[in-house]
Amino acid sequence: MKILTRSRRGLAALAAATIAVTGLSQVNAFAATKITLTEEDYFNTPGQLSGLASYTKQFEAAHPGVTVKRQYVPFANLDTKLLTQATGHDLPNLLAVDNPFVSTMISTGQVVPMSGMKGFSTKGYYPAVINEGLSNGKYYSLPVAGANSIALIYNIAMLKAAHVNPPKTWAQLVSAAKALTTPKRYGIALTCEAAEDTTWQWEPFFWSNGGKGTFANVASAPGVQALSLWKQLVTDGSASKACLNWSQTPAASSQFIAGKAAMMVNGPWNFPTLNLNHMYYGKQFGIVPVPVRVPGQHVVVPLGGEDWMISNSAGSAAQQLAFEYIKGMQTPAQELKLAKAFGYLPGKIAVAKTYLKQVGPEWKVYIDQTLYARPRTLGLGVKYPKISQAVWTAIQAALSGSQSVQAALKTAQSQINTILKS
Amino acid sequence: MTHLQRSKTLRWLCTLATAAALVIVLFPVYAVIVGSFESTQTLFSGTYYWLPHGATLDNYRTVIQAQSGHVLTSLIVGVGTAVLALIVAAPAAYALAKYRLRVTVILVSSLLVCQIVPSIVLATSLFIVFHWTHLVNSYPGLIIADGTYAIPFAILVLRAFFFSLPNEVMQAARVDGASEWQTFHRIVVPLARSAVITVAVFAFLSGWGDFIFALTILSGSGIEPITLGIYTYLGNYSTDWGAVMASGVFAMVPAGVMLVAAQRYIASGLTAGSVVG
Amino acid sequence: MHLTAWRRRQIAGWLFLTPAIAYILFAFALPIVYNVMLSFEETSPATIGDFTAPFAGLANYRFILNDPTSTAAIVHTFEFTAGSLFGQFVIGFALALLFTVRFPGRTLGRSLVIIPWLIPLFVTGVIFKFLFQLEGGAVNQLLVDVGLARHPIDWLDNPHLALWTLLIANIWLGVPFFTLLLYSALQDVPVEVKEAALMDGAGPWQRLRLVIVPIILPVIEVTFLLGFVFTVKVFDLVIALTGGGPANATQLITTWSYNLSFQQFSFGQGAALNNVLLLLAVICAPLYLLLSRDSLRRSSGAAR
């Protein structure tokens, strides 16, 4: 071990020497004179973009000389990018991390706790929301715009024309999707790309049907039944096989907006986009909870949302400034504003109550279920992303036809058992 | 059928075969160009239109706004790779061709092996090595990495060329009192102009088109070449096909320029670099 | 006097070589050595790049051998490489032969046929993704319009087809390389030899097999070897076209090693898989050295 370490130092020295020989100096990408805070996220709906931009503008106005530079990374790439940057000790100052990935980011040691910072408080937040960033008694994160979850969004006119009611059970979902499918459109747009949003979309089906939060019984009846449902939607032709390339937003959601899918499982962050495309709740689209296998089952949805984290890549002054940026978002007025723009539920209980009074009926389903949503990393922490990969791989395998539903889940189960044991 | 007629028929069959091959070769390029002028609705309609259908410049507007910085980055990286390749490769190739050094055989053999090493193998470790040497997220880092495509090849091509120079040329210069370095850069390099251009073209294209090192070594904002820019767009899959196609057109421009300007060098370089190897 | 001139030239030669040697040590030797070391370490997001990762013994290699996706990736790599080389050679040789005939459009054809080779690999992948889309892709539109298929074919979404789609794209982009090399080799076949074969009354097929192929065999060998090395390395194309999916059906050694290293952050496992790939490439090295020395001797022998 010692020899290995020493020879590694030798390698580093060799590296430095060769650099010197080739005469290439180290030039960094940035050479800022004023203070620039770098920020990274995967937000891409018009509502999210304008909400974030207007807050940033306000923040910059209140802090002369400070610029916040935003970097967009597509959802499927952000986790990789953040880990790469953490390894290179090169994280942006501010990171908006998808909540199941917060534990992993803490484990890199490249993010700083907010607990000790001036003005930090955990008061008033939903426990599930604030505890996402809790590690060894320290808090590492605060919500970006609150929390969210998913439900079934349907096209009212299409359902009416096909004489079907919004489905409440899986059997109804299958028959409705079939009835809604025409040569020009599919009954439902699924999300099955090789990324977390696929697992997230499937979780309500699995969990509401008795699946465990740790996925320890994914190859048993709850998992097999839930995946068979998706498989059937595809084999019936009610869902496009192209979903293997589709992200939840914007790929699947644009299918719905373009009228190429009559239903989708998706979240409230789509409201601003839907409205921009002249689709309004109650007129063009309606919302019901994700259907359950047998009537009476309780709908369990995963808790969604992003959390701000601060990296240690800059000095403490910049870290404090980054915290100011985050803190400014946690006032009731800002929370309300951002939650509306993003299409999220505010992260504080009292603010959420005010919010319910202000927003329209399209929020009813989401609010009811978000309060009881299940945090994905609960009891799993850094293990969740690996488990999720095993799950979405199984979903892809089954839907693409490379494995049967049972075989795919069996493979996932053995991987998950190994991860859970480690 | 007379012999003449038969050979005439044969010739026309050859033309026909070539035409068929060219359709297959060129169609994807055609499709990108047409696609870059289509509206999002058209591309999203689920029907493919063989001819432009309601042409628009919107995609180019989007792309010029979003990608011109990336194009500039790719240009810098391409030119940087070409310069680095020439600086490192030309003197080395000269030494390997014209000086009797004990290291020649080992070095030429290791260059051949270097050409074989897969980029992903280098990328994984370079990412960490660059992290030690603070080259992550920097132009020099990316250019050094992209040099791995071009430099072994450049040395071998230039060496093959320098071999063909008669020794008398250098001897005459030395008799005139020129130093070794003067002989090299005043006499030898100008004579090797065509080989130098070949090498520069190849190095430029490899830097311009690189994706794997850009993906692995650039971890932050700031530097983002066109290939990575397109990759980001692909994350937005369904909504942005038009913009992706327009970016694709931008990414193919150097190929087009090279095709017109440096065809001769490309063909000769490809053969020289590979066969003489 | 004589000795000093010799010494002076030795020093000059070494100085000329210094940048190249430094470069090779830094950009090739160092990463390869480090990669080997990495493959014996138990890495995690917290320890990667620092000097604290624990020694893992052969655990990473054991993982690779037992991981179904890794072994599948190795198999896919072989299938993909064999298929590509076969397709590229057959089409490339046919085109090379075609271009030796004088006919109208020959020059134009020869210069345009190299286009696929000039497009960045990643962009080619994107283009083929567009062409092979399930709905609205040109290929499916053509097949359905012409009546060859009743429904659009799931080229990219079907695990049994996706590797074929990848193969088609790779053949498309690799043919110019074979065409150019084989064409220039065919140019070197002396006209007298061809004429002599014609006088003997050899048919076209026999002439090709018995006269032409033996002459250009060294070039064919080197081309195959380079084609092998080139195909084993393919990465950009796959990431753009299929991303290794669906359900890992097109995962090659390169892409799966990227996934292990940069997406799961198991750099040790990624490095172990990398070394499998390196081993494949290194096996080729002596063969390549031998063949290129052969052709080197031949070409320099012919020149003098």
| pLDDT for the residue numbered C301 | 36
Cβ-based burial of A4 (10 A; exposed 0-12, middle 13-18, buried ≥19): middle
C-alpha span between B36 and B44 (Å, rounded): 13
User: Is the predicted pLDDT of residue C273 greater than 80, yes or no?
Assistant: yes
| pLDDT for the residue numbered C295 | 55
**Do β-strands A186-189 and A261-266 pair in parallel, antiparallel, or remain unpaired?**
parallel
Instruction: Mark residue A353 as left, alpha or beta (left: phi above 0; alpha: psi -120 to 50; beta: remaining).
Output: alpha
**Domain segments of chain A as ranges:** 35-147+305-370, 151-302+382-421
**Nearest CB neighbour to B219, from listed A74, A90, A255:** A90
| pLDDT for the residue numbered B216 | 87
Q: Is A77 at the interface with chain C, CB within 8 A?
A: no
User: What Cα–Cα distance (Å) separates residue B40 from each residue in A317, B237, C150?
Assistant: 45, 12, 26
C-alpha span between A77 and A23 (Å, rounded): 34
User: What Cα–Cα distance (Å) separates residue A356 from each residue in A265, A351, A367, C278?
Assistant: 22, 9, 8, 60
Using CA atoms of C142, C144, C149, C152 in order, give the dihedral in degrees to the nearest 10. 90
pTM above 0.90, yes or no: no
Residues C189, C193, C195, CA angle at the centre, nearest 5°?
A: 120
| pLDDT for the residue numbered C229 | 83
The nearest alpha carbon in chain B to A45 belongs to: B236
A residues 372-411 near C, CB within 8 Å? 386, 389, 393, 396-397, 399-403, 408, 411
For residues A100 and A384, is the Cβ–Cβ distance under 8 A? Answer: yes
Instruction: Give A247's contacts in chain B (Cβ within 8 Å).
Output: 235, 237
Name which residue leads in pLDDT, A15 or C85.
Answer: C85
Interchain contact, A26 vs B44, CB within 8 Å: no
Q: How far is B124 from chain C (nearest CA, A)?
A: 7
Interchain contact, C180 vs B17, CB within 8 Å: no
User: Is the predicted pLDDT of residue C299 greater than 60, yes or no?
Assistant: no
C-alpha span between C244 and A198 (Å, rounded): 16
User: Is the predicted pLDDT of residue C1 greater than 80, yes or no?
Assistant: no
C-alpha span between A243 and A97 (Å, rounded): 25
Task: Give the count of beta carbons closer than 10 Å to the beta carbon of residue C11.
Answer: 11
Phi, psi of A96 (to 5 degrees): -100, 105
**Domain segments of chain B as ranges:** 69-276
User: What Cα–Cα distance (Å) separates residue C154 from each residue in A264, B63, C137, C158?
Assistant: 22, 30, 10, 6
**Nearest CB neighbour to A29, from listed B132, B138, B238:** B138
**Neighbouring subunits of B (3+ Cβ pairs under 8 A):** A, C
**Neighbouring subunits of C (3+ Cβ pairs under 8 A):** A, B
C-alpha span between A26 and C185 (Å, rounded): 45
Give residue C161's Cα distance to chain centre: 21
| pLDDT for the residue numbered A387 | 94
Interchain contact, A90 vs B135, CB within 8 Å: no
Q: Is A9 at the interface with chain C, CB within 8 A?
A: yes
| pLDDT for the residue numbered C263 | 84
The nearest alpha carbon in chain A to B233 belongs to: A74
Cβ-based burial of C277 (10 A; exposed 0-12, middle 13-18, buried ≥19): buried
Q: Which residues are A285's β-sheet partners? A: A155, A281
Interchain contact, B133 vs A26, CB within 8 Å: yes
Interchain contact, C114 vs B46, CB within 8 Å: no
Q: Is A88 at the interface with chain C, CB within 8 A?
A: yes
C-alpha span between B136 and B140 (Å, rounded): 9
CATH number of B69-276: 1.10.3720.10
| pLDDT for the residue numbered A18 | 43
Express as a percent the part of chain C with pLDDT over 90.
49
Q: How far is B197 from chain C (nearest CA, A)?
A: 16
**Nearest CB neighbour to B124, from listed C9, C122, C267:** C267
Two structure tokens written together for A50 = 């304008």
pLDDT < 70 stretches in chain A? 1-33
| pLDDT for the residue numbered A300 | 94
Two structure tokens written together for B166 = 């008669």
C-alpha span between A345 and A337 (Å, rounded): 11
C-alpha span between C35 and B123 (Å, rounded): 10
Q: How far is A365 from chain B (nearest CA, A)?
A: 28
Q: Is A19 at the interface with chain C, CB within 8 A?
A: yes
For residues A35 and A68, is the Cβ–Cβ distance under 8 A? Answer: no
Three-state SS string over chain C comes to CHHHHHHHHHHHHHHHHHHHHHHHHHHHHHHHHHHHHHCCECCCCCCCCCCCCCECCCHHHHHHHHCHHHHHHHHHHHHHHHHHHHHHHHHHHHHHHHHHCCCCCHHHHHHHCCHHHHCCHHHHHHHHHHHCCCCCCHHHHHHHHHCCCCCCCCCCCCCCCHHHHHHHHHHHHHHHHHHHHHHHHHHCCCHHHHHHHHHCCCCHHHHHHHHHHHHHHHHHHHHHHHHHHHHHCCCHHHHHHCCCCCCCCCCCHHHHHHHHHHHCCCHHHHHHHHHHHHHHHHHHHHHHHHHHHHHHHHHHHHHC
CATH 3.40.50.720 fits C33-303, yes or no: no
| pLDDT for the residue numbered B221 | 60
CATH number of A35-147+305-370: 3.40.190.10
Interchain contact, C121 vs B131, CB within 8 Å: no
Interchain contact, C160 vs A245, CB within 8 Å: no
| pLDDT for the residue numbered B160 | 84
Interchain contact, B125 vs C130, CB within 8 Å: no
Instruction: Give B11's contacts in chain C (Cβ within 8 Å).
Output: 101-104
Strand order in A261-266's β-sheet?
Answer: A186-189, A261-266, A151-155, A285-288
The HSE-up count of residue A393 (CA atoms within 13 Å, CB side) is: 23
For residues A379 and A128, is the Cβ–Cβ distance under 8 A? Answer: no
| pLDDT for the residue numbered B274 | 52
| pLDDT for the residue numbered A405 | 97
Q: Is B34 at the interface with chain C, CB within 8 A?
A: no
Instruction: Give C116's contacts in chain B (Cβ within 8 Å).
Output: 25, 28
Q: Is A350 at the interface with chain C, CB within 8 A?
A: no
Residues of A at the B interface (Cβ-Cβ below 8 Å)? Answer: 11-12, 15-16, 19, 22, 24-30, 38, 40, 44, 69, 71-77, 81, 84-85, 87-90, 92, 184, 245-247, 250-251, 254-255, 258, 260
Taking every pair of Cα atoms in chain B, the longest distance, rounded to a whole number of angstroms, is 75
C-alpha span between B249 and B191 (Å, rounded): 36
Two structure tokens written together for A228 = 């068979």
Query: Which secondary-structure segment (H or E) carries A53?
Result: helix A46-62
Two structure tokens written together for C210 = 């018995």
Closest CA to B210 of B146, B140, B137: B146
The nearest alpha carbon in chain B to A20 belongs to: B133
Interchain contact, C243 vs A194, CB within 8 Å: yes
Interchain contact, B222 vs A85, CB within 8 Å: no
Instruction: Give A32's contacts in chain B (Cβ within 8 Å).
Output: none
For residues C240 and C131, is the Cβ–Cβ distance under 8 A? Answer: no
By three-state DSSP, how is residue A68 classified? strand
First-to-last alpha carbon distance for chain C, in angstroms, is: 32
Query: Which secondary-structure segment (H or E) carries B181?
Result: helix B180-182
Interchain contact, A29 vs B135, CB within 8 Å: no
pLDDT, tens digit only, all 277 positions of chain B: 466 677 788 888 999 999 999 999 999 999 999 999 998 888 878 888 888 887 889 889 988 888 888 999 999 999 999 999 999 999 999 999 988 888 888 898 888 888 888 899 999 889 888 888 888 888 999 999 999 999 998 998 898 888 888 888 888 888 888 888 899 988 899 888 888 988 898 899 999 999 999 988 886 667 889 999 888 777 654 557 888 899 999 999 887 887 777 766 766 666 555 544 3
Two structure tokens written together for A273 = 């986009």
Q: What is the mean pLDDT of chain C?
A: 87
Instruction: Tell me the torsion sign for CA atoms A201, A202, A203, A205.
Output: positive
Cis peptide bond N-terminal to C246, omega within 30? yes
The nearest alpha carbon in chain B to C49 belongs to: B128
| pLDDT for the residue numbered A21 | 39
CATH number of A151-302+382-421: 3.40.190.10
For residues C284 and C225, is the Cβ–Cβ distance under 8 A? Answer: yes
Cis peptide bond N-terminal to B118, omega within 30? no
Two structure tokens written together for B150 = 């071009």
